[in-house]
């Protein structure tokens, strides 16, 4: 029978091996459950995904403080949900983007009214100048993507979700399917439909105004 000391030693060894693997290959499905318990593994997970995640947020949000709030909120939700992650449910990146979509959608619903000034001030004080500059740069770089996102917004939600994850956030179709809870084959069908509809939207938007008038 294993003693308490044996169990603690086994757990300690497991974390050590997980950390070694993380340093060599990044946080994989086997190590993801440790991000809520091991600060070193969480830091590796954060560094591995924060830049892509901020670009994901910047394509949808144009305010620095709000983007910073959402970044922190998404990683906090990831920590709280890590115990429920199952390797078969998708890659860690797909899992994180699934959380991000839920957090951003919830935030959009909350923003029927302006956030109060105290919350804005608190978010701003958490940013140092380098953080602020990086977030501003990503928001500026995402401006054109947000214009495209506005055109995508006219697509049905079920098709738009897969398209934005693949076309804008560079997830694979399998990762996008996992992020939105679809089978890969269904995601591929929706992606094909969305691309066809978006192409038609963009072609119509780029027509000369005279031709648009003629069509009326």
Structural domains in the chain (count): 2
Are residues 126 and 68 in contact, defined by beta-carbon separation less than 8 angstroms?
Answer: yes
> For residues 192 and 63, which has the higher predicted lDDT (pLDDT)?
192
Residues 40 and 108 in one domain: yes
Structural domain including 197 reads 143-208
Domain termination residue (choose one: 111, 141, 171): 141
Domain termination residue (choose one: 98, 116, 141): 141
Are residues 94 and 28 in contact, defined by beta-carbon separation less than 8 angstroms?
Answer: no
Residues 90 and 123 in one domain: yes
Query: Residue 206 pLDDT more than 80?
Result: no
Domain termination residue (choose one: 141, 165, 186): 141
What lies within 8 Å, CB to CB, of 52 at 6+ separation is: 93, 169, 170
- Kindly report the CA angle at 19 between 13 and 25, in degrees rounded to 5? 135
Residue 16: the pLDDT is 62
Residues 98 and 200 in one domain: no
pLDDT, tens digit, for every residue of 160-196?
889 888 887 889 999 999 999 999 999 999 999 988 8
The pair of three-digit structure tokens given for residue 211, joined into one six-digit string: 């031709």
Residues 122 and 66 in one domain: yes
Residue 73: the pLDDT is 95
Residues 122 and 41 in one domain: yes
Residues 86 and 163 in one domain: no
Query: Residue 95 pLDDT more than 50?
Result: yes
- The answer to whether residue 67 is domain-embedded is yes
DSSP state, residue 37? T
Q: In angstroms, rounded to a whole number, what is the distance separating the alpha carbons of residues 132 and 141?
A: 14
pLDDT, tens digit, for every residue of 96-154?
999 999 999 888 887 754 444 444 444 444 455 566 666 666 666 665 555 666 677 78
Helix axes 173-180, 184-205, angle to 10 degrees: 100
What lies within 8 Å, CB to CB, of 15 at 6+ separation is: 34, 37, 38, 41
Residue 153: the pLDDT is 78
Q: What is the pTM of this model?
A: 0.66
Calculate mean pLDDT across residues 77-91. Answer: 88
Query: Residue 67 pLDDT more than 60?
Result: yes
Residues 98 and 157 in one domain: no
Residues 84 and 179 in one domain: no
């Amino acid at each position: 029978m294993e003693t308490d000391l044996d169990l603690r030693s086994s757990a300690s060894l497991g974390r050590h091996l997980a950390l070694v693997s993380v340093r060599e290959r990044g946080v994989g499905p086997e190590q993801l459950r440790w991000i809520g318990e091991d600060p070193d593994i969480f830091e590796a997970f954060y560094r591995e995904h924060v830049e892509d995640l901020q670009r994901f947020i910047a394509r949808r949000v144009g305010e620095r403080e709000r983007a910073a709030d959402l970044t922190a909120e998404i990683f906090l939700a990831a920590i709280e949900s890590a115990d429920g992650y199952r390797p078969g449910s998708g890659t860690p990146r797909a899992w994180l983007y699934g959380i991000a979509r839920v957090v951003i959608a919830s935030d959009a619903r909350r923003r029927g009214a302006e956030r109060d000034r105290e919350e804005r001030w608190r978010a701003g004080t958490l940013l140092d100048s380098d953080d602020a500059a990086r977030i501003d740069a990503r928001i500026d770089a995402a401006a054109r993507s947000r214009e495209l996102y506005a055109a995508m917004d006219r697509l049905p939600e079920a098709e738009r979700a897969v398209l934005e994850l693949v076309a804008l956030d560079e997830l694979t179709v399998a990762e996008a399917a996992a992020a939105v809870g679809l089978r890969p084959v269904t995601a591929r069908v929706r992606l094909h439909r969305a691309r066809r509809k978006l192409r038609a939207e963009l072609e119509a938007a780029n027509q000369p105004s005279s031709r648009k008038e003629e069509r009326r």
